[in-house]
Amino acid sequence: SLSFDQTKSELKESAMAELDLVAQWMMRDPAVRIRFIGHTDNQGDPLRNVKLSEDRVRNVKKYLVDKGIGSNRIETVGYGGAFPIADNSTEESRKLNRRVEMEILDK
């Protein structure tokens, strides 16, 4: 998964490097379709967090489209803080929840 700074939707250098590999893989296999799922920690307004998670996946999609991947091959959804993978009780656990996950869809 790709990690993000709190309240930020900009891609980190490490995320861009991972997405470059995803783009190469998708270029080699034009049948591949993927879904990016955005998440946030539980800090702040829940509605704002949904928008933030949507902004994150939109930036991920834009990055891949700019690399030549067809937008019709990429789905996005943002869930805000609804599906944490850690308990949000510490900064370290909240960092784990600020993420975008990738799911491979049927070819």
* pTM, full prediction: 0.94
| CATH homologous superfamily of 2-105 | OmpA-like domain (3.30.1330.60)
pLDDT per residue over 3-40, tens digit each?
A: 999 999 999 999 999 999 999 999 999 999 999 999 99
Contacts by 80-88 with C-beta closer than 8 Å and gap 24+? 80/39, 80/40, 80/46, 80/47, 80/49, 80/50, 80/52, 80/53, 81/39, 81/40, 81/41, 81/42, 81/46, 81/49, 82/39, 83/39, 84/39, 84/41, 84/42, 85/39, 88/41, 88/42, 88/43
Query: What's the average model confidence in pLDDT over 81-102?
Result: 96
